[in-house]
A and B are shown apart, each in its own frame.
Chain A
């Protein structure tokens, strides 16, 4: 039984039955309520039968007993053939831990009353603390009237309460269809298969959950070889970070000494820095420098979407940045998730899992646009998702560097990849190209830093075989921006609109 601080009114927490389905107990704040009755509804193929079976096997694995009653469903042998491909399936749990019966004949030939009697007897005979009834719709069809069907639910509720058994009734149905029995049960969980453009995504929604709170709204889920895996919506799960904020007042070296000097000693620890620049401007290279300072005390992680780990290692080697040893010693990890078909919250979950698993303190998220591309069909989510993620990383005292590509390659106006970037990053570093006499030159500037002073001058920088090298002074940058690199700084015009970039 999982305790639940949210259980009503500060009273004794309600006893719960953990589902053991990854992510679902988080959504349910600990599990189903013991002796509660729940409807799990979804269209054919939504995953209801897997849901019911997974729950049974998890329940049995915890030393409990379950009865699985089918009505108009696939035969038990076929069901088991399908289930045995999933890791939760353990044939040794049958029949002592899970007992499968078909109740359709009794329901049709003998009626509802006998069917309830069958359920009651099966619960008692097998000492079951979990009952799955797969095919509630058949019960409804066999009822003479709505009233008789509601009476069936009511009687079943009374029986399971007295037996201390939790019941799940699996049924077909579409989203937003309401039935009178929904008012009678303790909870309603819906499984959906939603089409976004040409991509489908499975979603779970807890529409009703008596006696306690649940994470409201839709949560993505997948049917994997582990069965159902639910990914709670990050902005709902981490609406508030899991710990108090920290203020270490320390600096974290970037791996580029001249940049650290401009930053007043490095990036403030536990903050997020956005490195914004055009394609090829050096964002990833800067990230690799940052990760080159990973250590046993400050494990590093590169979470990227575009460049594969092997290529990044070669890239680092080409810049004279030695990462292989760090990777071999477990002080640095590269994770790569191409922005093809994926679930936004699954990405967030993987990121946070990797951070927590290795207690990562230096994180580079290479290509913020990757999150946007995954969530292209739900652009309204991205701001809140990134804000929740960034806040959680802060309380985990992770110093994060996000790289993001600007839309325009050259020019004085910088267009960021998304709005609201100030909520995810306290610090902003700009990398720009400037064209001067048919040559592209690179400039770096610090636009903002959390509550600390910094050198706001523009610096020219180069990417060489020994990595990023900044000019010692801002003279060359000033000359480049003036369009007269051959002139000395004291000769530059005082008013030059191109000198300071405007960030949208």
Chain B
């Protein structure tokens, strides 16, 4: 069972993602900002991270930078989520695996997670 860490300050989105991913058989961890996301990472190693970009305390971009600086986290794929365009995110975030534009549909979330996990699994192999 793959583990997904969802990092978003909007609790409604966290709840929805937790529900649909759990229904699909994933184990889901949650955090409400980047700082809390890093705390979760120090406790458990998820297979993929779904992270919002704009969050209080520590945003998704900063979280990604912190992860890149730590070898233990470097290979965990991160799917960035934002209502901003991917061009804005690409300018500010390096090394993310995929992008989900908000608002998104369930199918888009599930297919992106599956695709990234597949990529991650191949890389790991």
Interface residues of B in 83-112 (CB under 8 A from A): 83-85, 88, 92, 102-103
Q: Shortest CB–CB separation between residue A112 and chain B, in angstroms?
A: 15
Contacts of A70 in B (CB 8 A): 10
Q: Shortest CB–CB separation between residue A49 and chain B, in angstroms?
A: 15
Chain A-chain B contacts (Cβ-Cβ < 8 Å), number: 60
Contacts of A91 in B (CB 8 A): 84-85, 88
* Given known A-B contacts A77-B103, A78-B103, A101 and B84 have beta carbons under 8 A apart: no
Interface residues of A in 80-103 (CB under 8 A from B): 80-81, 91, 94-95, 99-103
Q: Shortest CB–CB separation between residue B19 and chain A, in angstroms?
A: 15
- Give complex CA distance A121, B33 in Å: 13
Contacts of A94 in B (CB 8 A): 54, 84, 88
Q: Shortest CB–CB separation between residue B115 and chain A, in angstroms?
A: 22
On whether the beta carbons of B56 and A101 are closer than 8 Å, the reply is yes
User: Taking the complex as formed, is A106 at the interface, i.e. its CB lies under 8 A from any CB of chain B?
Assistant: yes
On whether the beta carbons of A103 and B56 are closer than 8 Å, the reply is yes
On whether the beta carbons of B32 and A118 are closer than 8 Å, the reply is no
Q: Which residue of B lies closest to A110 (CB)?
A: B32
- Give complex CA distance A70, B8 in Å: 13
| CB-contact partner of A106 in B32, B85, B92, under 8 A | B32
On whether the beta carbons of B83 and A80 are closer than 8 Å, the reply is yes
- Give complex CA distance A99, B53 in Å: 10
Contacts of A81 in B (CB 8 A): 83, 103
Contacts of B85 in A (CB 8 A): 91
User: Taking the complex as formed, is B13 at the interface, i.e. its CB lies under 8 A from any CB of chain A?
Assistant: yes
Interface residues of A in 49-108 (CB under 8 A from B): 69-70, 75-78, 80-81, 91, 94-95, 99-106
Q: Shortest CB–CB separation between residue B42 and chain A, in angstroms?
A: 19
On whether the beta carbons of A75 and B13 are closer than 8 Å, the reply is yes
Secondary structure of the B contact surface, majority rule: loop
Most chain B C-beta atoms within 10 Å of own C-beta, residue among A75, A80, A81, A109: A75
Contacts of A100 in B (CB 8 A): 54
| CB-contact partner of B11 in A69, A78, A105, under 8 A | A105
Contacts of A101 in B (CB 8 A): 9, 54-56
On whether the beta carbons of B56 and A75 are closer than 8 Å, the reply is no
Interface residues of B in 31-77 (CB under 8 A from A): 32-33, 53-57, 59
Contacts of A109 in B (CB 8 A): 32
| CB-contact partner of B54 in A99, A105, A106, under 8 A | A99
On whether the beta carbons of A106 and B56 are closer than 8 Å, the reply is yes
On whether the beta carbons of A102 and B9 are closer than 8 Å, the reply is yes
Contacts of B33 in A (CB 8 A): 105-106
- Give complex CA distance A94, B88 in Å: 9
User: Taking the complex as formed, is B25 at the interface, i.e. its CB lies under 8 A from any CB of chain A?
Assistant: no
On whether the beta carbons of A75 and B32 are closer than 8 Å, the reply is no
- Give complex CA distance A109, B83 in Å: 25
- Give complex CA distance A95, B55 in Å: 11
Q: How many residues of A contact B (CB 8 A)?
A: 23
- Give complex CA distance A80, B102 in Å: 10
Q: Which residue of A lies closest to B101 (CB)?
A: A77
* Given known A-B contacts A106-B32, A121-B57, A75 and B9 have beta carbons under 8 A apart: no
On whether the beta carbons of A105 and B9 are closer than 8 Å, the reply is yes
Q: Shortest CB–CB separation between residue B20 and chain A, in angstroms?
A: 16
- Give complex CA distance A441, B14 in Å: 81
On whether the beta carbons of B57 and A77 are closer than 8 Å, the reply is no
On whether the beta carbons of B56 and A76 are closer than 8 Å, the reply is no
User: Taking the complex as formed, is A205 at the interface, i.e. its CB lies under 8 A from any CB of chain B?
Assistant: no
| CB-contact partner of B102 in A69, A77, A103, A121, under 8 A | A77
User: Taking the complex as formed, is A122 at the interface, i.e. its CB lies under 8 A from any CB of chain B?
Assistant: yes
- Give complex CA distance A341, B69 in Å: 62
Contacts of A122 in B (CB 8 A): 56
- Give complex CA distance A9, B83 in Å: 48
Q: Which residue of B lies closest to A119 (CB)?
A: B56
Q: Which residue of A lies closest to B62 (CB)?
A: A125
On whether the beta carbons of A104 and B11 are closer than 8 Å, the reply is yes
On whether the beta carbons of B10 and A76 are closer than 8 Å, the reply is yes
- Give complex CA distance A105, B13 in Å: 12
Contacts of B11 in A (CB 8 A): 102, 104-105
- Give complex CA distance A103, B84 in Å: 19
- Give complex CA distance A391, B59 in Å: 56
- Give complex CA distance A109, B84 in Å: 27
- Give complex CA distance A102, B9 in Å: 5
Q: Which residue of A lies closest to B14 (CB)?
A: A105
On whether the beta carbons of A121 and B13 are closer than 8 Å, the reply is no
Q: Which residue of B lies closest to A115 (CB)?
A: B56
Contacts of B53 in A (CB 8 A): 95
Interface residues of A in 155-193 (CB under 8 A from B): none
- Give complex CA distance A118, B55 in Å: 11
On whether the beta carbons of B54 and A95 are closer than 8 Å, the reply is yes
User: Can you name 27 A-B pairs with beta carbons within 8 Å?
Assistant: A75-B10, A75-B12, A75-B13, A75-B102, A75-B103, A77-B83, A77-B102, A80-B83, A91-B84, A91-B85, A91-B88, A94-B54, A94-B84, A95-B88, A95-B92, A99-B54, A100-B54, A102-B10, A102-B11, A102-B56, A105-B9, A105-B14, A105-B32, A105-B33, A106-B33, A118-B57, A122-B56
Give 18 A-B pairs besides A75-B102, A76-B83, A95-B54 with Cβ atoms closer than 8 angstroms. A75-B13, A76-B54, A76-B102, A77-B103, A78-B103, A94-B84, A94-B88, A95-B92, A101-B56, A102-B55, A104-B11, A105-B11, A105-B32, A106-B33, A106-B57, A118-B57, A121-B57, A122-B56
A residues contacting B by CB (< 8 A) are 69-70, 75-78, 80-81, 91, 94-95, 99-106, 109, 118, 121-122
